[in-house]
Amino acid sequence: MTPYLRVDNVTRRYGNGAETVDALRGVSLSFTPGQFVALVGRSGCGKTTLLNLCGAMDFPTSGTVALGDQVTTGMSDAALTRLRRTQVGFIFQFFQLLPTLSAVENVELPALLAGDTNPRARALELLRFVEMDSMAQRMPHQLSGGQMQRIAIARALVNSPRVLLADEPIGNLDTTTGELVLNLLRRTARERQTIILMATHSLESTSFCDLVVRMRDGRVEDILER
């Protein structure tokens, strides 16, 4: 299968002068639709930096990141906004739901921003996919961590992105709830052909993935197929 997400010889240097940090030092990776990938390595090895580059939230110092035939460097701001809204979904360790919106309204928000004037049916369908349809009207403070993360996954999928970036998605969940979320992510990769890149410190969680990319000091140390 043709890769959809390609990272070619990427470096990322933060800061300037004496204060520079080389967060990525020449990373090349490519991923095909449906792959669930774990990104592991000790704190500071460059996982979050790489996720941000893949989501076009940040740009390489050298090298290129491409989603399909779109290289993120050199795109107009309008094209980048469109790329982020339609091709990429994010989920985070602390869920980051908007506290003043209900569960279903949180899921609808990215669709509204992308110009869909009536995304309710789509949002409810995704709430069924994450088995949260019975709690559509709840406010975030009325949900458990695992329930909030399932809402966040539904929100990340509402525009049917090709790529889902997950930064420590189970870092705040107990083991059982974490496994539920990991199963859901695996099902998302399979059934929706989404590429999922998941930064994680949990070695157990890598058993849910197809590939494990081990990073060290801004480089890929090795890639394991599961």
Ligand X SMILES: Nc1ncnc2c1ncn2[C@@H]1O[C@H](COP(=O)(O)OP(=O)(O)OP(=O)(O)O)[C@@H](O)[C@H]1O
Closer residue to ligand X in complex, CB, 9/14:
14
Least Cβ distance, residue 29 to ligand X (angstroms)? 15
Rounded-to-integer distance, Cα 13 and Cα 109, Å = 33
Size of the site for Mg ion (CB under 5 A): 2
**DSSP per-residue letters across 122-191:** HHHHHHHHTT-GGGTT--GGGS-HHHHHHHHHHHHHTT--SEEEEESTTTTS-HHHHHHHHHHHHHHHHH
Which residues in this chain contact ligand X in the complex, by CB under 6 A?
A: 14-15, 21, 23, 43-49, 199
CB 40 within 8 A of CB 49: no
**160 interacts with, out of ligand X, Mg ion, none, CB within 5 to 8 A per kind:** none
- C-alpha span between 219 and 15 (Å, rounded): 19
Measured from the CB of residue 65, what is the shortest distance to ligand X in angstroms?
15
Find the part of the chain contacting Mg ion (CB under 5 A) among 48-56, 96-104, 190-198, 217-225. Answer: 48-56
Structure tokens at 152: 């966040």
Q: Which residues pair with 5 in a beta bridge?
A: 31, 67
Bridge partners (DSSP) of residue 36 are 196
Min dist CB 201 to ligand X, Å, is 6
What's the CA gap between 49 and 58, in Å, rounded? Answer: 8
Residues across the chain: 226
Nearer to ligand X, 44 or 115 (CB): 44
Strand 195-199 to 163-167 pairing? parallel
Span of 39-47, 80-88, 120-128, 137-145 interacting with Mg ion by CB under 5 A? 39-47
Could you tell me how far CA 149 lies from the centroid of its own chain? 12
SS3 content of the chain, % helix, strand, coil (to 5): 40, 25, 35
Residue 182 contact, options Mg ion, ligand X, none, Cβ 5-8 Å cut-off depending on partner type: none
Name the minimum Å distance from CB 168 to ligand X. Answer: 7
With CB under 5 to 8 Å by kind, the binding choice for 23 among Mg ion, ligand X, none is ligand X
> Which partner in Mg ion, ligand X, none is near 150 (CB below 5 to 8 A by kind)?
none
Residue type at position 162: R
Smaller CB separation from ligand X, 49 or 194? 49
Least distance to Mg ion, CB of residue 199, Å:
6
Pick one of 11, 30, 48, 193: the residue that binds Mg ion (CB under 5 A).
48
Q: Scanning the structure block, which residue is given the tokens 């002068």?
A: 17
Q: How far is the CB of 55 from ligand X (least distance, A)?
A: 13
37, interface contact from Mg ion, ligand X, none, CB < 5-8 Å by kind: none
Residues that bind Mg ion (CB under 5 A): 47-48
